[in-house]
C-alpha cells in the first residue's frame, strides 16, 4: 500500500501543478485529471497460449475556462514541460472558442467534502504462468464437458489496477486506487448441421470473488450445448422474458433516455416525464455509487461532485434524471452527481426465480441473446435481432434463432410484469430477468 500511496501523492502534485499553471496563464478556472494503470491479459486457445499482454498506461487532461469559454488538452507525457505545454494548448483553444453560458466548473458547494474508502483496491499478485494455467483450466472445463463441444474461441484472464486523481480550482482534489479482474471463456458446439457458440465470464474487484475457472468453463459449455438445434419460429405476438444478462440492456435504454445530453437535445422518448408514471407501481430502480467493492463505485463524479444513493424510479414514477453540471444548466436544473454516468444501478426483484417466471410466462419467448442496436431514442421504437428459447406451458421446448423482436420502449416499460431473483451482479447495472407483455416476434 505504501507504493500506491506514494504514487497517489505524485499524481496529486501533478494535478496541483496543472491548476497552478492554468492560473498563471490567465485562466479564470480550471480542472485537471491524471490516471495511471497497469495490467496483465493472457489468452489461451485449444490449450495453447495465444497472447500475453502487459499494459502500462498513463495520461493527464486539463480543461481551462476563460469566463464561459472552454479549452481542453491532454497528454501521456508526465514531464514538467509537458504540463506547461498541455495547459498552454488548452488556453490557446479557450481564447478562440465561442462563449457557452453553461460551461464552467460544477458549483463549489457541491464538491465532495469527504472521500470514504469504498474498498475498491484489491491487486492480484498473479504471475504469467499462473494466469496461463487458469486460462487452460477454464477452457478445458468447457471442452471436456461434452463431445459436441468441437472448437474454442479461447479463454482470457485479465487483471488491472489503476489510480486516478481529479482536482479543480475550487480547491477540490481527490483520488483513489481501484482494481478489476475477469476470466472469460467462449466455445463452439456442433450437432449435425447445427453449430453454435456461447460464452460465460466472471468479473470482480477482488480476485477472491471471481467464480472458479472450472465453473466459468462449464457454464460456457452448458450455454453452448443448450443452443444446439436452434430453429426459427413463425411470426407471432407473444410475451417475452429478457434473461438477466439481456435485461441489463433495457436498463441502459432507460439511463440513456434520462441522461442530460439526450434531454437537452430533446432526443429522448422520456422527455418531460419527471414525476410521471413510466413503470408499474411495483418498480423501484435506484443508484448506489457508494457500494463497497461496487464495479462503478466512486465517492465523487468526474467533476468532483459528491455522489450519494438515490432513487431513479420509485413506485413506477420517474424521480430523477442523470445530470452533469453542464446538462443541468442547459435544463435549468441541478447536477445529480452523474457526470461520467450512472454508478451501480439496481432494480428490485420480486419473489420469483427464473423457473417460476417461466411458469408465469406460460407460452412465449425467453431471450438470451440480442443483436444490433435497434432503438430509436426519440420515439422509443425498438427492434433487435434475437435468439433464445421457445417456451410452452412454462417449460422450455427448444432453442430458437434468426428472429427479430419489436415493440416500443415506453410500452415495454409500462408492460413490465415481474423481475426475477436471478440477479446478474457482474456489471454496473444489476437486474434479474424481466417478464414483459406481448411483443411482435418476426420469424419465418
Any idea what the CATH number is for the domain that residue 72 is in? 3.30.2290.10
Q: According to the model, what pLDDT value does residue 1 have? A: 60
Q: According to the model, what pLDDT value does residue 3 have? A: 84
Q: According to the model, what pLDDT value does residue 2 have? A: 62
Query: Computed from CA positions of residues 345, 155, 373, 434, in that sequence, does the dihedral angle turn out positive or negative?
Result: negative
Asked if residue 107 and residue 20 are part of one domain, the reply reads: yes
Task: Give the C-alpha separation, 88 to 22, whole Å.
Answer: 8
Q: According to the model, what pLDDT value does residue 263 have? A: 97
Asked if residue 325 and residue 206 are part of one domain, the reply reads: no
Asked if residue 138 and residue 285 are part of one domain, the reply reads: no
Q: According to the model, what pLDDT value does residue 194 have? A: 86
Of 157, 132, 146, 133, residue with least CA distance to 218: 146
DSSP 209: G
List average pLDDT for each run of 10 residues in the chain, which is 444 residues long. 84 96 96 97 97 96 97 95 96 95 96 95 96 98 96 97 97 97 97 92 97 98 96 95 97 97 96 97 98 97 97 98 97 96 97 97 97 93 97 96 96 98 95 97 92
Asked if residue 278 and residue 211 are part of one domain, the reply reads: no
Asked if residue 44 and residue 11 are part of one domain, the reply reads: yes
Task: Give the C-alpha separation, 269 to 257, whole Å.
Answer: 6
Q: According to the model, what pLDDT value does residue 5 have? A: 85
Asked if residue 397 and residue 250 are part of one domain, the reply reads: yes
Asked if residue 236 and residue 307 are part of one domain, the reply reads: yes
Number of domains in the chain: 2
Final residue before a domain boundary, out of 168, 192, 226: 226
Asked if residue 218 and residue 311 are part of one domain, the reply reads: no
Q: According to the model, what pLDDT value does residue 377 have? A: 96
Task: Give the C-alpha separation, 111 to 97, whole Å.
Answer: 27
Final residue before a domain boundary, out of 226, 257, 284: 226
Asked if residue 209 and residue 282 are part of one domain, the reply reads: no
Asked if residue 203 and residue 267 are part of one domain, the reply reads: no
Across the strands, what pairs with 302? none
What are the C-alpha distances in Å from 128 to residues 39, 43, 135, 216, 329?
11, 11, 11, 20, 49
Asked if residue 332 and residue 207 are part of one domain, the reply reads: no
Q: For residue 207, what are the domain limits? A: 2-226
Final residue before a domain boundary, out of 226, 241, 267: 226
- Cell 494535478, residue located: 15
Asked if residue 243 and residue 99 are part of one domain, the reply reads: no
Amino acid at each position: 500500500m505504501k507504493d500506491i500511496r506514494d504514487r497517489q501523492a505524485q499524481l496529486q502534485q501533478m494535478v496541483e501543478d496543472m491548476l497552478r499553471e492554468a492560473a498563471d496563464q490567465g485562466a479564470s478556472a480550471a480542472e485537471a485529471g491524471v490516471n495511471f494503470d497497469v495490467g496483465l491479459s493472457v489468452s489461451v486457445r485449444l490449450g495453447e497460449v495465444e497472447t500475453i499482454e502487459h499494459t502500462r498506461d498513463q495520461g493527464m487532461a486539463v480543461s481551462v475556462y476563460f469566463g464561459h469559454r472552454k479549452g481542453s488538452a491532454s497528454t501521456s507525457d508526465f514531464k514538467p514541460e509537458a504540463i506547461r505545454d498541455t495547459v498552454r494548448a488548452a488556453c490557446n483553444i479557450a481564447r478562440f472558442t465561442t462563449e457557452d453560458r453553461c460551461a464552467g466548473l460544477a458549483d463549489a458547494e457541491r464538491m465532495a467534502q469527504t472521500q470514504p474508502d469504498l474498498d475498491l483496491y484489491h491487486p492480484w499478485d498473479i504471475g504469467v504462468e499462473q494466469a496461463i494455467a487458469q486460462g487452460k483450466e477454464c477452457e478445458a472445463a468447457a471442452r471436456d464437458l461434452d463431445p459436441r463441444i468441437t472448437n474454442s474461441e479461447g479463454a482470457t484472464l485479465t487483471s488491472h489496477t489503476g489510480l486516478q486523481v481529479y482536482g479543480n480550482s475550487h480547491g477540490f482534489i481527490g483520488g483513489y486506487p481501484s482494481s478489476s479482474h475477469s476470466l472469460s471463456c467462449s466455445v463452439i458446439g456442433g450437432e449435425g448441421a447445427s453449430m453454435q457458440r456461447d460464452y460465460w465470464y466472471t468479473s470482480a474487484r477482488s480476485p477472491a470473488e471471481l467464480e472458479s475457472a472450472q465453473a466459468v468453463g462449464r457454464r460456457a459449455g452448458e450455454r453452448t450445448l443448450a443452443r444446439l438445434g436452434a430453429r426459427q419460429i413463425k411470426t407471432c405476438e407473444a410475451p417475452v422474458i429478457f434473461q438477466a444478462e439481456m435485461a441489463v440492456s433495457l436498463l441502459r435504454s432507460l439511463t440513456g433516455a434520462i441522461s442530460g445530453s439526450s434531454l437537452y437535445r430533446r432526443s429522448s422518448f422520456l422527455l418531460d416525464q419527471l414525476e410521471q408514471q413510466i413503470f408499474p407501481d411495483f418498480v423501484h430502480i435506484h443508484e448506489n455509487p457508494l457500494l463497497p467493492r461496487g464495479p462503478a463505485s466512486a465517492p465523487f463524479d468526474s467533476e468532483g461532485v459528491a455522489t450519494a444513493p438515490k432513487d431513479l424510479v420509485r413506485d413506477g414514477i420517474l424521480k430523477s434524471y442523470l445530470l452533469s453540471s453542464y446538462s443541468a444548466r442547459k435544463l435549468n436544473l441541478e447536477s445529480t452527481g452523474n457526470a461520467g454516468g450512472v454508478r451501480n444501478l439496481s432494480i428490485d426483484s420480486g419473489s420469483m426465480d427464473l423457473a417460476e417466471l417461466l411458469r408465469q410466462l406460460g407460452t412465449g419467448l425467453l431471450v438470451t441473446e440480442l443483436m444490433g442496436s435497434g432503438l430509436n431514442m426519440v420515439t422509443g421504437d425498438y427492434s433487435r435481432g434475437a435468439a433464445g428459447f421457445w417456451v410452452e406451458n412454462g417449460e422450455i421446448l427448444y432453442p430458437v434463432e434468426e428472429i427479430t423482436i419489436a415493440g416500443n420502449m415506453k410500452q415495454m416499460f409500462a408492460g413490465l410484469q415481474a423481475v426475477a431473483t436471478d440477479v446478474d451482479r457482474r456489471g454496473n447495472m444489476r437486474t434479474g430477468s424481466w417478464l414483459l407483455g406481448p411483443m411482435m416476434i418476426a420469424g419465418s
